[in-house]
Chain A
Amino acid sequence: MDLKTKHLLDIASLSKEEIEDLLNLAENLKEILYRPIPKVPTLRGKLITHLFYEPSTRTRFSFEKAAKTLSADILTFTGKGTSIEKGETLLDTIKNLEAIGTDLFVIRHPVAGAPHFVAKHSKVPVVNAGDGTHEHPTQALLDLLTVKEKLGTLSDLKIAIIGDIKHSRVAHSDILAFQKMGSTVWVSGPAQLLPDIKEVNYYKLNNKSFKICYKIEEAIEEADVVIALRIQRERHGEALVPSFLEYHEFFGLKSSHLELMKEKAILMHPGPVNWGVELAYEMEKYPFQVILDQVENGVAIRMAILLRLLTGERTYESLD
């Protein structure tokens, strides 16, 4: 089956079937990455433009690797801050890049809804690589892929997400994605960084599948998956938490937490990790820590997305 929309803008607008389709395709495509020559000609002649208005290392490189594996050409536009500061509007930028011959935009932007804005004004597909504090759908998809690969299922799991839920686009996408696949999501962290009471209804896809916990032990107890988020002490010059020291003591994941989690529960992090803050140093040695598997799966899932959006009906079988 195919993506119903021609863009990949957020998890909110994807159905369970669309998500499953992308995961299945990614699982199949992953094999290409292990070939002696990890490259197929499927997207030869397609031009993918990366619009990165915000610094990014792993997401940008991951998209580049995915595109290169499929033999697409890439233009990369990086700019700090917003288009306004550059003196050219985002609308003008995309119209020009379309005129140059772009077949697909990958956009990361510091404000929410920027990819949706591009999609509204663009004739070609748009992939959201992270927009402000809104969503980061490809990260959530690679998280799903990793959990499916490690635990063999995505339903009836308990997922704990710990950290700055309020400002994390990864959390926003993960919360929806795991619930859509039939699991429950419990979140915890400093209360000022948890969703506002009035916002909870949005995150709760059904009555029992989402919960806010004020003690992290409650969230991680019997969890199948624990996702720690990168914590920023300051946002826009404002102190969100009193200190890293305090954060680590009360909200950082440590080996003492392991016995609360299910046996073989996996530990994830979208990166980059502040070791010693949201994750204690010793957690790097935890045998079911899968942070680098997430990175690898990121390439596979992005290959699947590019393929679906750029080749329509074609299936994996007709690739070679």
Chain B
Amino acid sequence: MKVLIKKGRIIDPSQNFDFVGDLLIEEGKILGIERNIEIQEKVEIIEAKNLWIVPGLVDIHVHLREPGEEWKEDIETGTKAALYGGVLRLACMPNTKPPNDSPEVTRYILERSSQKAYITVYPIACITKRQEGKEITEFGRLKKAGAIAVSDDGKWVQDSEVMKRALLYAKNFDLPVISHCEDMNLSKGGQINEGYLSAKLGLKGIPACAETIAVIRDLILAKETQKNLHLAHLSTKEVIPFLRWGKEEGIPFTAETCPHYFTLTEKEVENYNTLAKVNPPLRTEEDVEAIKLALKEGLIDIIASDHAPHSPLEKEIEFELASFGMIGLQTLLPLSLNLVREGYLTPLSLLEKLIINPSKVLNIEPPSFKKGALAEVIIVDPEEEYILTEEIIQSKSKNTPFLNKKLKGRVKKVILKEKVFDLSLV
């Protein structure tokens, strides 16, 4: 069976294409893209006038919570949310219960994914055993079991010698290393950004320097070891000059941010709103602007969701006891599109940060419309406005400050291999 998508705006960053045309898919593979494709035989036609036709997004930073915290999310619901968000491949973080620090857990996640997942799941394993920051894990066996990268996400590898050892050992196996940059002595007990609001709410602040100091050390270690390092979820303007310095020095690193860091400020936590409690914390308008400019300048290479589901058990409680994190798979694209609307990025440069650069970090071929590539196609209405209701959210958890707020930009259809998903029915 062939599928023909007609008259959409085809944007494929892997080939630097951005034009209005048709896309033909046969048996789950891309057959061709042309300005106009006429075809005689029987074919399923999808009209895409005024819509974008884009390769599936790659989200490098997702918490699927399986195994161990399935009341928050599992592989099935998490990947369904991804599908609805246009994310067709994701890398899941290892802070599960137990953490993914052994080949057994890696294999478990892959096996469950083969049964339940809607999209491609790449497990990330821990850098250190039990994420304790002391002993490095079995990088070789983990990679062989299917781990795509290593990270102690949620924790920084505080001991510089251990981090250096990890960066060196990862070179033996070409394993990407992802660092959660947070000096945990400086941030200990912290709840929200340190500043006006932490004073007002009487909550211990997380200073920007906790992130900056960690970034600087990690850049130095990447330089020392000449090993690619990926810096996760950057949130503060303070780190930007150091990223620029790192690029100038030729240090091998990539940097990531998340939509909430270029969309929201600490004001969201007013009234002790636990839905906006996230780590690193939401910061100020100045930081938001600096992150946008860093995306534009290319100092930040990747936008990821840091999708972090939590149930009311972890969120409808006292602020200081509530867990950090918000879901983000279904808000990733609509919020990122604001960067195009506001003129910071072009559609192609945005998609580079959502598809190409994360694929490079993970050493995978990015989803593409090249002839013969797997069909991983999302059809997006960049103009559709809608309210993000609980019904629209496919995650098991609904913890997002965007709940019941207006979003602009929506994934309408997904063609994944041989399947066509119509998502406009929700």
Contacts and interface: CB of A to CB of B under 8 A. Distances in A.
A112 B201 CA distance: 7
Interface in B358-390: none
Contacts of A195: 199
Nearest to B208: A198
Given A199-B205, A236-B189, A117 B318 contact: yes
Nearest to B271: A116
The interface residues of chain A, by DSSP majority, are classed as helix
Most chain A Cβ neighbours within 10 Å, of B191, B200, B272, B318: B318
Interface string A95-124: 000000000000001011110110010000
B194 A134 contact: no
B125 to A, nearest CB: 30
Interface in A142-185: 169, 172
Nearest to A203: B199
A109 B202 CA distance: 13
Interface in A74-89: 82-84, 89
Contacts of A131: 202
Contacts of B318: 82-83, 90, 109, 111, 113-114, 117
Contact of B195 (A89, A111, A134, A198): A198
A132 B318 CA distance: 11
A89 B196 contact: no
A196 B205 contact: yes
Nearest to B313: A89
A152 B143 CA distance: 76
A196 B206 CA distance: 11
B199 A84 contact: no
A199 B201 contact: no
Contacts of A199: 194-196, 198-199, 205
Contacts of B321: 82, 84, 111
- The contact size tier of chain A is 20 to 34
A198 B266 CA distance: 14
Contacts of A84: 317, 321
Contacts of A278: none
Nearest to A89: B317
- The contact size tier of chain B is 20 to 34
B319 A111 contact: yes
Interface in A175-222: 195-196, 198-203
Contacts of A133: 202-204
Nearest to B204: A133
A116 B272 contact: yes
Contact of B317 (A12, A91, A132): A91
A64 interface: no
Contacts of A116: 271-272
Contacts of A120: 271
B273 to A, nearest CB: 10
Given A89-B317, A117-B318, A117-B319, A132 B202 contact: yes
B316 interface: yes
Interface string B285-322: 00000000000000000000000000001001111110
Nearest to A109: B318
A14 to B, nearest CB: 14
A172 B198 CA distance: 12
B317 A196 contact: no
B202 A134 contact: yes
Nearest to B274: A117
A112 B202 contact: yes
Contacts of A114: 318-319
A114 to B, nearest CB: 5
B202 A172 contact: yes
Contacts of A82: 318, 321
Nearest to B193: A198
A113 B194 CA distance: 16
B194 A112 contact: no
Nearest to A116: B272
Interface of A: 12, 82-84, 89-91, 109, 111-114, 116-117, 120, 131-135, 169, 172, 195-196, 198-203, 236
